[in-house]
Amino acid sequence: MISSKFARPIAWLLLAAIIFVTLSPIGLRPHTITSVNLDRALAYVLVGFMFATAYPRHWIAVAFLLVAGALAIEYLQYLSPTRHARLHDAAVKILGASLGVSIGCLLNKIRIAKSAANLSRP
């Protein structure tokens, strides 16, 4: 399992990449073989997972801030003439972030339970 020491810079770099891709002109958006909605969801699942792993004691704040951040980043697209903000896109991002934080929390609980079990062994 990745430690929070390594997860923190990865989480922040992923968030920076999401912000860049979301707010840059549409021509700079990377093209993938999956649908745009799947790209959005997977990006936010990954960033949610990494932030939950990076800050395991603050998962509620992480979840709240990722939801607020997804809304804010989507809203900031109004500043770009080549981008368009849509509630549907924000909802996909919020669902992805929520799933990622949930998976991260679950794995954090498993990791804590395993370490507690190892400490209680003679």
Q: What is the pLDDT along the chain (122 residues), one digit of tens a residue?
A: 567 789 999 999 999 999 988 887 777 777 777 788 898 999 999 999 999 999 999 999 999 999 999 999 888 888 777 777 788 899 999 999 999 999 999 998 998 888 777 777 66
Residue 25's contacts (CB-CB under 8 Å, 6 or more residues apart) are 80, 82, 83
Residue 102 lies in a domain: yes
Residue 54 lies in a domain: yes
Residue 7 lies in a domain: no
Between 4-23 and 36-54, two packed helices, what is the crossing angle to 10 degrees?
150
**pTM for the model:** 0.86
Domain residues for the domain of 83 are: 34-120
Residue 13 lies in a domain: no
Which amino acid is present at 108? N
Between 4-23 and 59-76, two packed helices, what is the crossing angle to 10 degrees?
20
Element (H, E) at 50: helix 36-54
- Tell me how many domains the chain contains: 1
Residue 16 lies in a domain: no
Residue 2 lies in a domain: no
pLDDT at 122: 64
Residue 8 lies in a domain: no
